[in-house]
Structure 1
């Protein structure tokens, strides 16, 4: 047996890239992530291929575009036989340990209708061993911990209410009812660190998933007021929200879907003043710094136990967060901030590339193939992503992509969404695709709606230039490029098998010229 090959795959929730590297990063204290970046390779143009949480993690862990796995919404089942990182790592002898959640809605064909797996969209993905349940809407172990520590709360939702230290009416940036040592982030890290010491003697794979900085935006002291709202940048936006809405019919419903008040618990009448906006942005920054502290604890554990040099470390996020940009919150939109996420990979034995930055466009679906490639496991043809190992070595394959591709389904079968009501669409045409080049971003809709085209060498996302005559050639070129992308990436699960007189023959997709 060779030297140990461990994999630590850390995913944060709703962390936008420019908070780690970019314009906002200089305003956030991130000593541990920055130290890791100095010892790793950072991918600056890394994008989620789909939003929101459930679909994004389905793509992240299966290596498939949403158009192929079709788990397109939180609560939409993922086919039970879809290859994923856990099923494939098992083929290499790993027990895929899950500390946290994958937000996977199970296939009702594979479970009895009374099975609890069909009562939550937050079930764990097939193949994983759920070591610690830490699901956003469940989190029973953490709740039990809070009760054991003497915290008093009427309901789970009240855990997310800020509490005034003076007994007055709470403010949105008052601290959480729990101390920092008992937060969800601290608890999950504690459980991880308590579990892993005995695994030193074997190769291991751990998927560690932090809920933060996902809303509700409430933080324990000192993170609740760590950053001065007056000292951080204002959102990137037009002065009047109506001017944003005027860019395309999609945006009226987008702004109505997720308001500023929806980011906190207990303040239903909170208005979108600059003061409130900046206060919530400061809370978001504080939660990122809290996550950074605990990622640092995990890295320290690897170093102290002599496992750092044997462990592939991947740190990323499932998707981004608008954070008030374009007068929008959350991730239910088309803008870069909702899809652009950090990706940091430290590969053992790659010290010569420490601190390097990759500027080629990469996607969340590339991470699972990269991990499989590193441990020597074949990449299934179902996976649309490609291994990043060449880019980690500083080599750019001649046929590497020049753009990224993302999708968003804005329907809901049980009750029409605000988009369906406003746009007159249904479940089959309430979707969009986004293609991003260095200069242009194209958004196309399944419904008969006009496209969106942004020119980042001009006004960027402030102005939709799709109808301007001088951009028609670019619009046509990008539309054809998007069509070809979809055609080339149709599901390859079985398409490269041939049934012959000698039995089935298989051509490996990623070895094709």
Structure 2
């Protein structure tokens, strides 16, 4: 391996919307470090998650494969945990090529101490305990270093709540600080004769919206964007659902929505400051120029848009993600912005491409290096496909297609469709699906989805049209069972 082999740092946030960075046009939030990174690299304007919830999106990131091929189509509805046994993982391929690999923060693996190709992990799994006796590294550290008789969840807000309040403990104990502290420690104690692969994976801005007070208060005082509320959003105005502190839909008071957004924005501002520490460490260690940095999120957060909260939706707040990539200086200058549609599966082949490594044939993603360097193939995909099984309710199971300009959504268990023109209506406030003058566009996009789903032979289409799934068993990908069985028998 060449001594010039690039270092690779992947920075991942959890549940961050695409429109919460200055480099994506947000003039209210302060993300100076990420905006500076964007100025040195490439902003992918139309990056989307293949499945807008944690486990399926992270499985696609880990493997470079579509959800159908990882076998994980969402969370709930018969979908298993991530498990192990993947033929290829990004950290595994890099480790085999001589990289020193480390994962810090949220991995969401199962079993929770699975390595999935990493040499080592240090975990912050929020409150998740899926293995007997599991205590995350962050929680153990918190308990050793706290300054009083309080717990890491004493703010009283659930991990999936729309509620918000300032962080209850000293800022140095916040998981965002811990994640960067441990990332810096790894950089300083790495094997200096090997290139490094570091995944720094924040557990925020995913709820609880508990930004440290200095950040929370800053955005409480600012005028924040109001949620988008479409002419169709009344379908999610469900008082019986809204009463829950972990509601996935329903109308909340304006002050509650504003407080949630203040906490969310504050968390992102806090993350940006900590990312600045990480970048400064790379610069001090003389690594920055020869380091590829990829920043992205697994999915977004509805934040009250269309009377919806949390994720799993095909709408922009949930499915459209930020993605910024800075290549090593030796790769030369790259395009400032890319408008072609990309997805999380493309990250693994891009990293392997830049590292000069072979890309396994099993990957569904494609290297974005050509898009960045202005040499992309003419056959780059015209649109991306995303999906999610039923999670909170059968009625929100969905498939979607988008090229960043048009969005088509199919709800299999309702057998209904939505169509949005994102260029004229980026907030998806006007559903065009039932407009006669948009009929041909609707049929065009429906045909595209039929062609994708026909390859699965799973009863979602008869080859000519989409087939209603109401009352039918939940679909489970055969690739999941095959992988888990192969792992168990090995």
1:209 aligns with 2:205: no
Distance in 1 (alpha carbons) for counterparts of 2:115 and 2:390: 23
1:437 aligns with 2:406: no
Q: Secondary structure at the match of 2:205?
A: coil
Contact 1:451 1:466 in 2 (8 A): yes
Distance in 2 (alpha carbons) for counterparts of 1:24 and 1:196: 32
1:16 aligns with 2:17: yes
Contact 1:41 1:358 in 2 (8 A): yes
Distance in 1 (alpha carbons) for counterparts of 2:385 and 2:251: 34
Q: How does 1:97-496 map to 2 (within 5 A)?
A: 97-105=102-110, 117=111, 122=112, 124=114, 126-138=116-128, 140-152=136-148, 156-159=152-155, 174-199=165-190, 200-228=192-220, 231-238=223-230, 243-246=232-235, 251=236, 261-262=245-246, 272-349=252-329, 353=333, 356-411=336-391, 417=392, 419-420=393-394, 431-447=397-413, 449-456=415-422, 461-486=428-453
Q: Secondary structure at the match of 1:51?
A: coil
Q: Secondary structure at the match of 1:397?
A: coil
Distance in 2 (alpha carbons) for counterparts of 1:85 and 1:333: 27
Contact 1:217 1:263 in 2 (8 A): no
Distance in 2 (alpha carbons) for counterparts of 1:257 and 1:84: 39
Aligned to 1:41: 42
Instruction: Tell me how far 1:222 sits from its aligned partner.
Output: 0.9
Contact 1:216 1:263 in 2 (8 A): no
User: Kindly tell me: are residues 245 and 186 of structure 1, through their superposed partners in 2, closer, same or farther at Cα, counting changes over 3 Å?
Assistant: same
Distance in 2 (alpha carbons) for counterparts of 1:310 and 1:188: 23
User: Kindly tell me: are residues 296 and 124 of structure 1, through their superposed partners in 2, closer, same or farther at Cα, counting changes over 3 Å?
Assistant: farther
Contact 1:30 1:289 in 2 (8 A): yes
Contact 1:39 1:355 in 2 (8 A): no
Q: Secondary structure at the match of 1:188?
A: helix
After alignment, is 292-301 or 192-201 more displaced?
192-201
Contact 2:65 2:365 in 1 (8 A): yes
Q: Which has the larger radius of gyration?
A: 1
Distance in 1 (alpha carbons) for counterparts of 2:361 and 2:240: 40
1:80 aligns with 2:64: no
Contact 2:15 2:205 in 1 (8 A): yes
Distance in 2 (alpha carbons) for counterparts of 1:54 and 1:100: 14
Instruction: Tell me how far 1:181 sits from its aligned partner.
Output: 1.8
Aligned to 1:496: none
User: Kindly tell me: are residues 256 and 22 of structure 1, through their superposed partners in 2, closer, same or farther at Cα, counting changes over 3 Å?
Assistant: farther
User: Kindly tell me: are residues 406 and 257 of structure 1, through their superposed partners in 2, closer, same or farther at Cα, counting changes over 3 Å?
Assistant: farther
Instruction: Tell me how far 1:125 sits from its aligned partner.
Output: 5.2
Contact 2:6 2:328 in 1 (8 A): no
User: Kindly tell me: are residues 136 and 256 of structure 1, through their superposed partners in 2, closer, same or farther at Cα, counting changes over 3 Å?
Assistant: farther
Q: Secondary structure at the match of 1:226?
A: helix
**Per-residue deviation, residues 199-256 of structure 1 (Å, max 9, x unmatched):** 24321111110011110111222122121355112111148xxx4144xxxx578x97
Contact 1:229 1:278 in 2 (8 A): no
Contact 1:12 1:211 in 2 (8 A): yes
Contact 1:189 1:298 in 2 (8 A): yes
User: Kindly tell me: are residues 260 and 41 of structure 1, through their superposed partners in 2, closer, same or farther at Cα, counting changes over 3 Å?
Assistant: farther
Distance in 1 (alpha carbons) for counterparts of 2:116 and 2:100: 12
Distance in 1 (alpha carbons) for counterparts of 2:56 and 2:398: 14
Distance in 1 (alpha carbons) for counterparts of 2:25 and 2:39: 19
1:54 aligns with 2:55: yes
Distance in 1 (alpha carbons) for counterparts of 2:153 and 2:318: 25
User: Kindly tell me: are residues 396 and 159 of structure 1, through their superposed partners in 2, closer, same or farther at Cα, counting changes over 3 Å?
Assistant: same
> Structure 1-normalised TM-score?
0.78
Instruction: Tell me how far 1:132 sits from its aligned partner.
Output: 1.2
Distance in 1 (alpha carbons) for counterparts of 2:244 and 2:227: 13
Q: Secondary structure at the match of 1:61?
A: helix
Instruction: Tell me how far 1:263 sits from its aligned partner.
Output: 8.2
Instruction: Tell me how far 1:257 sits from its aligned partner.
Output: 6.4
Aligned to 2:483: none
1:91 aligns with 2:93: no
Instruction: Tell me how far 1:188 sits from its aligned partner.
Output: 1.4
User: Kindly tell me: are residues 342 and 23 of structure 1, through their superposed partners in 2, closer, same or farther at Cα, counting changes over 3 Å?
Assistant: closer
**Alignment coverage as a number of residue pairs:** 442
Aligned to 1:507: none
Q: Secondary structure at the match of 2:329?
A: coil
